[in-house]
Amino acid sequence: MANKKLTWLLLGALLLSLCAGCSGSLKKEDTPTTITVWHVYGGQTDSPLNDLIAQFNQTVGKERGINVQVTSVSNTNTIHEAVLASANGEPGSSELPDLFISYPKTVLALPDDSILVDYRDYFSEEELSAFIPSFVEEGEVDGRLVVLPVAKSTEILYVNQTAFDRFSEATGVTMDALKTWEGLFEAAEIYSEWTDAQTPDVPGDGKSMFVHDYYFNYFQVGVESLGESFFDGNRLAFGPAFEQAWNLLAQASLNGGVWLRGGYATESLRTGNSIVSVASSASILYYSDTVTYSDNTSEEAIINSYPCPVFADGEKLVMQRGAGFCTVKSTPERERAAVTFLKWLTEPERNVDFVIRAGYMPVTQAAFDNYLPQAIEALDSPKYASLYQAFLETQADYEFYVPPQVETYLELETCLEDQVRAQLAQGRREYLDAAEPGSELLERISQERYSTFRQILGE
């Protein structure tokens, strides 16, 4: 009997040691779970998010065996194309990363949005209730929360104050003119004439005062602020308010007051080809304090921020921007790692630390209430202090406009951006080449270009 007991005891010990061996073989802490990220925060500049990711990897990442690797920092459109190519399995496309930045429009364009994690599977209701509700709603597609907000931006008016003050002194145009679109475009025409007059021997070399990063947003928010609907289903409505916005822009453009080349608004400010722009608050990273002219001389410039202009007879409406993070479904381990990072990034204090360096607003109420005011006070860069002052004024005086989820959104946006620039640039050339320029000709060219523009957009 005693022998039997001994046998069973030994067998039990053996089984236990085998089990211990099995569990011991998974040394998770030795091989971190590496997750890849495509994001947009910083573009080609020093990325504040990359710094935070490095911080995460060295602290929480090391503790929990997670290593976040940034494999692309670009813009939402590039990511949109890459994500769609990858999701559609197009030849030559990259493998989708674990995390990528996207607007809901990218998710809507996906052939199958079930490849994305529903954050409700990983965030408790309590955790989600910490976020600003409208930000969370924006990330919902077909009842699933697939885009998690981490930072929100709006549109801001940036002014090269050094250059504008010179212009103001010479012409009497004040900063008040930049509060409305009407005033801004009128000032742009004056600026073009003024700069042209500085080189009397070279006619028609006036410079543009103004550049808009997204003319699509100018029209969208402008039309909506004038009480009209911008979209008509999946197309543009083209109501009278749209025409009103077009006429203002066209007149200033044909007179040379608006920069119509492609690229971001920062380019023309950096090269001294324009001095006022409307762009995302996140563009602050790309505005340089130095303007470099074509003769390789450079000038230190003060870049100030102001709330976005509005139509004189329109509501104070401004675009709410800012994409969010999508997590691609993979293994529970990788998904958990990705969500761990996102939770870490959206903790109120850290979220403020991140957004304040990137020109964004935080996404949780606690961050707004408890950390943002102190962070703004502590800003030592006048450029950033000015931006957040404009942010606060915008928040106090404006209503935020959130674009609707329209399937053709990106298509319409891309087409409108190209065509506004192309048609107005052609109009500008026609006007410059005309033997007898004047308001009548200007109006005719404007209408012709609008008609072509509508035809192309209508198709």
Give the closest residue to 312 by CA, choosing from 440, 186, 208.
Answer: 186
The whole-angstrom separation of Cα 132 and Cα 154 is 15
Cβ proximity to other proteins: between 15 and 237 the closer is 15
Cβ proximity to other proteins: between 73 and 372 the closer is 73
Q: How far is the CB of 90 from other proteins (least distance, A)?
A: 9
The whole-angstrom separation of Cα 79 and Cα 72 is 9
Q: How far is the CB of 55 from other proteins (least distance, A)?
A: 12
Q: How far is the CB of 138 from other proteins (least distance, A)?
A: 25
* Residue 57 exposed, middle or buried by CB count within 10 Å (0-12, 13-18, 19+): middle
Cβ proximity to other proteins: between 293 and 312 the closer is 293
SS3 277: strand
Instruction: Specify the DSSP element, H or E, that contains 160.
Output: strand 153-160
Instruction: Give the DSSP letter string of 184-243.
Output: HHHHHHHHHHHHHHTSTTSTT-PPP-EEES-HHHHHHHHHHHTT--SEETTEE---HHHH
Cβ proximity to other proteins: between 188 and 284 the closer is 284
Q: How far is the CB of 263 from other proteins (least distance, A)?
A: 5
Q: How far is the CB of 272 from other proteins (least distance, A)?
A: 10
Alpha carbon dihedral 433, 438, 444, 448, in 10-degree steps, equals 30
Burial string for 398-418 (b: 16+ CB within 10 Å, else e) reads beebebeebebbbebbebbbe
Alpha carbon distances (Å) from 349 to 162, 226, 354, 390? 35, 38, 9, 22
Q: Phi first, then psi: what are they for 290, rounded to 5°?
A: -120, 130
Cβ proximity to other proteins: between 262 and 438 the closer is 262
The amino acid present at 457, given as its one-letter code, is: L
Cβ proximity to other proteins: between 253 and 266 the closer is 266
Binding site for other proteins (CB under 8 A): 3, 7, 10-11, 14, 17-18, 21, 24-25, 27, 29-32, 34, 38, 42-47, 50, 54, 57, 61-62, 67, 69, 71-74, 78, 82, 91-94, 97, 261-264, 266-267, 270-271, 285-286, 288, 292, 294-298
Cβ proximity to other proteins: between 47 and 153 the closer is 47
Strands (E), 386-459: 399-401
Instruction: Specify the DSSP element, H or E, that contains 279.
Output: strand 276-280
Cβ proximity to other proteins: between 54 and 170 the closer is 54
* Residue 13 exposed, middle or buried by CB count within 10 Å (0-12, 13-18, 19+): exposed
Q: How far is the CB of 21 from other proteins (least distance, A)?
A: 5
* Residue 266 exposed, middle or buried by CB count within 10 Å (0-12, 13-18, 19+): buried
Q: How far is the CB of 284 from other proteins (least distance, A)?
A: 12
Q: How far is the CB of 25 from other proteins (least distance, A)?
A: 5
Terminal alpha carbon distance of the chain = 92
Q: How far is the CB of 228 from other proteins (least distance, A)?
A: 33
Cβ proximity to other proteins: between 47 and 446 the closer is 47
Q: How many helices (H) and strands (E) does the chain have?
A: 19, 17
Q: How far is the CB of 261 from other proteins (least distance, A)?
A: 5
Q: How far is the CB of 32 from other proteins (least distance, A)?
A: 6
Give the closest residue to 266 by CA, choosing from 254, 256, 280.
Answer: 280
- For the chain, what percentages of helix, strand and coil (3-state, to nearest 5) are there? 55, 15, 30
Q: How far is the CB of 266 from other proteins (least distance, A)?
A: 7
Cβ proximity to other proteins: between 184 and 211 the closer is 211
